[in-house]
Amino acid sequence: MQAVQDVLFPPYPGQASGRNEAVPGRILGGQVVNGAGASANLRPSPVPAVVLSLVGTEDALLQQLADSMLKEDCTSELKVHLARSLPLPCSVNRPRIDLIVFVVNLHSKHSLQNVEESLCHLDAAFFLGKVTFLATGG
Protein backbone atom coordinates (compact mmCIF):
# COMPACT_ATOMS: atom_id res chain seq x y z
CA MET A 1 0.00 0.00 0.00
CA GLN A 2 1.35 3.39 -0.96
CA ALA A 3 1.81 6.10 1.63
CA VAL A 4 -0.55 9.05 1.33
CA GLN A 5 0.81 12.53 2.02
CA ASP A 6 -1.29 15.59 2.65
CA VAL A 7 -0.14 18.40 0.39
CA LEU A 8 -1.16 21.94 -0.40
CA PHE A 9 -1.12 23.14 -3.97
CA PRO A 10 -2.44 26.31 -5.61
CA PRO A 11 -5.20 26.08 -8.20
CA TYR A 12 -4.07 25.83 -11.82
CA PRO A 13 -4.24 29.03 -13.87
CA GLY A 14 -7.69 29.40 -15.44
CA GLN A 15 -9.49 27.37 -12.77
CA ALA A 16 -12.95 28.54 -11.68
CA SER A 17 -11.65 30.12 -8.48
CA GLY A 18 -10.11 33.47 -9.31
CA ARG A 19 -8.39 33.64 -5.94
CA ASN A 20 -4.95 32.15 -5.44
CA GLU A 21 -5.78 29.94 -2.47
CA ALA A 22 -4.25 26.64 -1.44
CA VAL A 23 -6.38 23.53 -1.74
CA PRO A 24 -5.67 20.56 0.52
CA GLY A 25 -5.03 17.33 -1.35
CA ARG A 26 -3.28 13.97 -1.26
CA ILE A 27 -0.64 12.38 -3.47
CA LEU A 28 -1.70 8.95 -4.70
CA GLY A 29 0.70 7.17 -7.06
CA GLY A 30 1.80 10.21 -9.05
CA GLN A 31 -1.53 12.02 -9.06
CA VAL A 32 -2.91 14.71 -6.82
CA VAL A 33 -6.42 14.13 -5.55
CA ASN A 34 -8.02 17.28 -4.17
CA GLY A 35 -10.77 17.48 -1.58
CA ALA A 36 -13.51 17.29 -4.26
CA GLY A 37 -12.17 13.97 -5.59
CA ALA A 38 -10.83 15.41 -8.85
CA SER A 39 -7.34 14.37 -9.85
CA ALA A 40 -4.61 16.05 -11.87
CA ASN A 41 -1.31 14.68 -13.12
CA LEU A 42 1.72 16.07 -11.34
CA ARG A 43 3.72 18.12 -13.81
CA PRO A 44 6.81 20.08 -12.93
CA SER A 45 6.36 23.76 -13.59
CA PRO A 46 8.59 24.96 -16.41
CA VAL A 47 11.78 26.62 -15.21
CA PRO A 48 13.00 29.36 -17.54
CA ALA A 49 16.70 28.64 -17.04
CA VAL A 50 18.84 26.34 -14.95
CA VAL A 51 22.29 27.64 -14.05
CA LEU A 52 24.94 25.02 -13.33
CA SER A 53 28.43 25.76 -12.07
CA LEU A 54 31.25 23.30 -12.76
CA VAL A 55 34.14 23.79 -10.32
CA GLY A 56 37.47 22.05 -10.90
CA THR A 57 41.13 22.46 -11.77
CA GLU A 58 41.10 20.81 -15.22
CA ASP A 59 39.84 23.40 -17.69
CA ALA A 60 39.76 21.07 -20.71
CA LEU A 61 37.69 18.47 -18.85
CA LEU A 62 35.25 21.08 -17.55
CA GLN A 63 34.83 22.53 -21.05
CA GLN A 64 34.26 19.08 -22.56
CA LEU A 65 31.67 18.26 -19.90
CA ALA A 66 29.90 21.59 -20.40
CA ASP A 67 29.83 21.15 -24.19
CA SER A 68 28.31 17.67 -23.93
CA MET A 69 25.66 18.89 -21.46
CA LEU A 70 24.69 21.81 -23.68
CA LYS A 71 24.21 19.49 -26.69
CA GLU A 72 21.45 17.56 -24.88
CA ASP A 73 17.82 18.56 -25.38
CA CYS A 74 16.05 19.61 -22.21
CA THR A 75 12.80 21.37 -21.38
CA SER A 76 14.55 24.33 -19.74
CA GLU A 77 17.37 26.50 -20.93
CA LEU A 78 20.68 25.31 -19.48
CA LYS A 79 23.47 27.73 -18.64
CA VAL A 80 26.85 26.38 -17.54
CA HIS A 81 29.40 28.43 -15.64
CA LEU A 82 33.01 27.18 -15.37
CA ALA A 83 35.15 28.06 -12.36
CA ARG A 84 38.52 26.91 -11.06
CA SER A 85 37.51 27.51 -7.43
CA LEU A 86 35.10 29.28 -5.12
CA PRO A 87 34.21 31.96 -4.19
CA LEU A 88 32.99 33.26 -7.52
CA PRO A 89 33.77 36.90 -8.26
CA CYS A 90 31.00 39.28 -7.21
CA SER A 91 29.03 40.46 -10.19
CA VAL A 92 25.75 42.30 -10.43
CA ASN A 93 24.89 40.36 -13.61
CA ARG A 94 25.62 36.88 -12.23
CA PRO A 95 22.48 34.73 -12.21
CA ARG A 96 21.39 32.60 -9.28
CA ILE A 97 23.22 29.24 -9.34
CA ASP A 98 20.95 26.21 -9.07
CA LEU A 99 23.57 23.45 -8.82
CA ILE A 100 27.30 23.28 -8.16
CA VAL A 101 29.24 20.28 -9.46
CA PHE A 102 32.68 19.82 -7.90
CA VAL A 103 34.89 17.85 -10.29
CA VAL A 104 37.65 15.95 -8.46
CA ASN A 105 40.47 14.15 -10.27
CA LEU A 106 41.32 11.10 -8.17
CA HIS A 107 44.95 11.21 -9.37
CA SER A 108 45.56 14.82 -8.35
CA LYS A 109 46.08 15.92 -4.75
CA HIS A 110 45.79 19.55 -5.91
CA SER A 111 42.31 18.84 -7.31
CA LEU A 112 41.10 17.50 -3.96
CA GLN A 113 42.66 20.40 -2.03
CA ASN A 114 40.99 22.87 -4.38
CA VAL A 115 37.57 21.33 -3.70
CA GLU A 116 38.20 21.27 0.07
CA GLU A 117 39.12 24.97 0.04
CA SER A 118 36.11 25.83 -2.13
CA LEU A 119 33.69 24.04 0.17
CA CYS A 120 34.50 26.51 2.95
CA HIS A 121 32.82 29.25 0.91
CA LEU A 122 29.42 27.55 0.75
CA ASP A 123 26.62 27.98 3.24
CA ALA A 124 25.59 24.69 4.89
CA ALA A 125 21.98 25.10 3.68
CA PHE A 126 23.17 25.10 0.06
CA PHE A 127 24.28 21.45 0.33
CA LEU A 128 20.73 20.10 0.42
CA GLY A 129 20.10 19.19 -3.21
CA LYS A 130 22.33 21.87 -4.75
CA VAL A 131 25.83 20.36 -4.55
CA THR A 132 27.22 17.22 -6.13
CA PHE A 133 30.65 15.70 -6.63
CA LEU A 134 31.98 14.13 -9.80
CA ALA A 135 35.12 11.98 -9.49
CA THR A 136 37.28 11.52 -12.59
CA GLY A 137 40.35 9.45 -13.36
CA GLY A 138 39.16 6.33 -11.57
* Ranges under pLDDT 50 in the chain: 1-40
* Residue whose C-alpha is closest to residue 121's, from 49, 55, 52, 51: 55
What pLDDT does residue 8 have? Answer: 34
What pLDDT does residue 14 have? Answer: 45
* Residue whose C-alpha is closest to residue 39's, from 50, 52, 51, 28: 28
The alpha carbon of 129 is separated from its chain's Cα centroid by a whole number of angstroms, namely 7
CATH number of the domain encompassing residue 122: 3.40.50.300
Q: Does residue 3 form part of some domain? A: no
Q: Does residue 8 form part of some domain? A: no
Asked if 10 and 19 count as a contact pair (C-beta separation under 8 A), the reply is no
What pLDDT does residue 42 have? Answer: 52
What pLDDT does residue 89 have? Answer: 82
Q: Does residue 12 form part of some domain? A: no
Q: What is the dihedral of CA 17, 21, 26, 30, to 10 degrees?
A: 70
Number of structural domains the chain divides into:
1
What pLDDT does residue 28 have? Answer: 42
pTM of the complete model beyond 0.75? no
Q: Which domain holds residue 118?
A: 49-97+105-136
Q: Does residue 89 form part of some domain? A: yes
What pLDDT does residue 138 have? Answer: 77
Q: Does residue 13 form part of some domain? A: no
